[in-house]
Amino acid sequence: MQYADWWEQYTWALFKALSHMLSIGYGRYAPQSITDVWLTMISMLTGATCYALFVGHSTTLIQSSDASRRLYNDKVSLPLNRVSLSHSADDTFGMKLLIGASS
Alpha carbon distance 69, 83 (integer Å): 22
When pLDDT is cut at 50, 70 and 90, the band that residue 34 belongs to is: very high
Total structural domains in the chain?
Answer: 2
pLDDT value for 77: 74
Residues 74 and 50 in one domain: no
Domain of 81 in residue numbering reads as 67-102
Residues 59 and 84 in one domain: no
Instruction: Kindly provide the residue ranges of all beta strands, DSSP E only, lying in 1-103, ordered along the sequence.
Output: none
1 falls within a domain: no
Residues 31 and 49 in one domain: yes
CB 12 within 8 A of CB 6: no
pLDDT value for 4: 83
User: CA dist 1 to 6, 12, 17, 40, 80, Å?
Assistant: 10, 9, 16, 19, 72
CB 41 within 8 A of CB 30: no
When pLDDT is cut at 50, 70 and 90, the band that residue 87 belongs to is: low
When pLDDT is cut at 50, 70 and 90, the band that residue 92 belongs to is: low
